[in-house]
Amino acid sequence: MGTRAGGGEDMGGPAAVNDATSAPGSTVPGSTAPVFAALGDANRQALLTLLVERGRASASTLTPAMSVSRQAVNKHLNVLERAGLVESARSGREVLYSVRRDGLDRSADWLRELSAEWDRRLATIKAMAEAPETPQAAPGA
């Protein structure tokens, strides 16, 4: 987390987490970019872990476990919500946050597909490297 010119903490606002779409011909779903941008911050990773452990929680109940202010926790939760990783629901005067599993599932699926593609490519290279060499005809023969 950096510091802005005004002295405040940089919470990775809309400029850091946007709804970028995939490049033409890419199989990367546009929804993965905001997820990975949101998960690029250690505080947001910690908040997501806390929500997985606790189920539902408010910013006020999450703050004591964090090394940042309640305002910073709120901002981080908003980034996670915009990325589709958490959802919020008002309960009286509090806003309760919980993990949206589908937000993580889409990104995990994409990573599995990417990994499988690399496994296929590496297997092809391995097979080529281990194949017996065939004699080459002499040049000009």
CATH assignment at residue 51? 1.10.10.10
Burial class (CB in 10 A: 0-12, 13-18, 19+), 96: middle
Mean pLDDT of 129-133: 86
Residue 7 resides in a domain: no
**pLDDT tier at 61, thresholds 50, 70, 90:** very high
**Residue predicted with more confidence, 4 or 56:** 56
Highest mean pLDDT: which of 2-11, 13-22, 23-32, 61-70?
Answer: 61-70
Burial class (CB in 10 A: 0-12, 13-18, 19+), 92: exposed
Residue 113 resides in a domain: yes
Mean pLDDT of 24-34: 58
Mean pLDDT of 51-71: 92
User: Distance between CA 82 and CA 65 in Å, rounded?
Assistant: 22
Sign of CA dihedral 46, 48, 51, 52: negative
User: Distance between CA 11 and CA 51 in Å, rounded?
Assistant: 19
Is residue 5 predicted with pLDDT exceeding 70? no
Residue 13's pLDDT is what?
39
Residue 122's pLDDT is what?
92
Q: Domain of residue 101: give its range.
A: 32-130
Residue 101 resides in a domain: yes
The total of structural domains in the chain comes to: 1
Say what the pTM is: 0.62
State the chain's mean pLDDT as an integer.
Answer: 78
**Residue predicted with more confidence, 97 or 104:** 97
Residue 56 resides in a domain: yes
